[in-house]
Amino acid sequence: MPPRNSHSARPNKFVPYLAFIIFSAIFVFKLDVIISQTIFAARRNQEISTTRDIQLISPAPLIENGTFHRLFIVTWGESRAQILENGELLTLSLYKLSGSGFQSRKELLFGKIDMQIKLVPGNSAGTVTTYYLSSEGDHHDEIDFEFLGNSTGNPYTLHTNVFSQGKGEREQQFFLWFDPTQDFHTYSILWNPRCIIFYVDNIPIREFKNAERLGVPFPKDQPMRIYSSLWNADEWATQGGRVTTNWSLAPFTASYRNFSMDGCLWSRLTRTYSCTDDDFSRKPVLRMELDRRSRARMKRLQRDHMVYDYCRDKWRFPKGPAPECRIN
């Protein structure tokens, strides 16, 4: 009965296909369920972390761990970085082998950050302590404080810079009007869509205005993390590399405390951030610029304490100063 055989053989041929289709359907369904569960879990995590974020911005009265545990992670140097005093003090050390560093857990897109820092005392020649905001990727934005150590009795150099879309070369340097190694002093960065202001002990020392109308990109689209590190750069840091690190004085230690932050936290997951349009018209931090009095005070301070200004460096910029120099 060849016809019957061929008849029954025909449906058999479809069985593997049918099985494949059913299997795929189940697989796709399962996958769908897995994906939606993941999205749900992610969203829930997000909600949890945004509620946490809100607590971070307005200081929570009940905390089980200190500021540095909650907001930062040690990313470099292992035990050379230490979080002490129940999370309220952080120290970075530099040994000949390596330095150390930490970064914020969260990213922010605009805001003001304040940190009290006590720098490496004594002969700190060759050491560099950094405290800065930076985004990631090729065309990164960055707002820098760098403290270049010096031999005993000679002044530290406070170096500042602003990168937008990968371009820096906007250095201004200062000698401080106090000994930054004796006590803690507050170093702050204010960053909003209109300007960036560097403060030392709440005194503005530098303003970098948004000069987009002059064709200068301004950091305003890329969220940034807070970073800090202590490392050795004695090939160039101190008096152009002439004074090198004296390793018999190691470890070199810088200390951090009393961090505070007011601003907009960015969530990488949902690509949203914790500020509303209303915040931008209401919150001083997100809309302020220096007023005339503060600006005049800043100019006086710069006249007395600024030791390098890229806007006046004709040797490096023979074609004339950068466009933003006209308004800063």
Please, which residue, 5 or 248, has the CB nearer to ligand NAG? 248
Q: Which residue is nearest to ligand NAG (CB)?
A: 154
d(CA 40, CA 58): 27
d(CA 240, CA 234): 9
146 carries an active-site annotation: yes
d(CA 43, CA 237): 46
Please, which residue, 21 or 73, has the CB nearer to ligand NAG? 73
Catalytic residue among 47, 78, 146, 289: 146
The torsion region of residue 112 among left (phi > 0), alpha (psi -120 to 50) and beta comes to beta
In angstroms, how far is CA 225 from the centroid of its own chain?
3
d(CA 125, CA 148): 8
Please, which residue, 115 or 196, has the CB nearer to ligand NAG? 115
Which residues contact ligand NAG by CB under 6 A?
64-65, 69, 114, 148, 150, 154-155, 157, 237-239, 246, 248-249, 258, 260
Catalytic residue among 142, 171, 207, 212: 142
For residue 177 the two structure tokens come to 């009007």
d(CA 253, CA 247): 13
Q: How far is the CB of 237 from ligand NAG (least distance, A)?
A: 6
Nearest to 172 by CA among 143, 194, 149, 213: 143
Please, which residue, 101 or 210, has the CB nearer to ligand NAG? 101
Phi, psi at 128, each rounded to 5°: -130, 125
Q: Which residues of 187-209 are buried (b: 16+ CB within 10 A; e: fewer)?
A: bbbbbbebbbbbbbeeebbbbbb
Q: How far is the CB of 304 from ligand NAG (least distance, A)?
A: 15
142 carries an active-site annotation: yes
Q: How far is the CB of 238 from ligand NAG (least distance, A)?
A: 4
d(CA 328, CA 324): 6
Q: How far is the CB of 250 from ligand NAG (least distance, A)?
A: 10
Please, which residue, 154 or 165, has the CB nearer to ligand NAG? 154
Q: Give the residue numbers marked as catalytic.
A: 142, 146
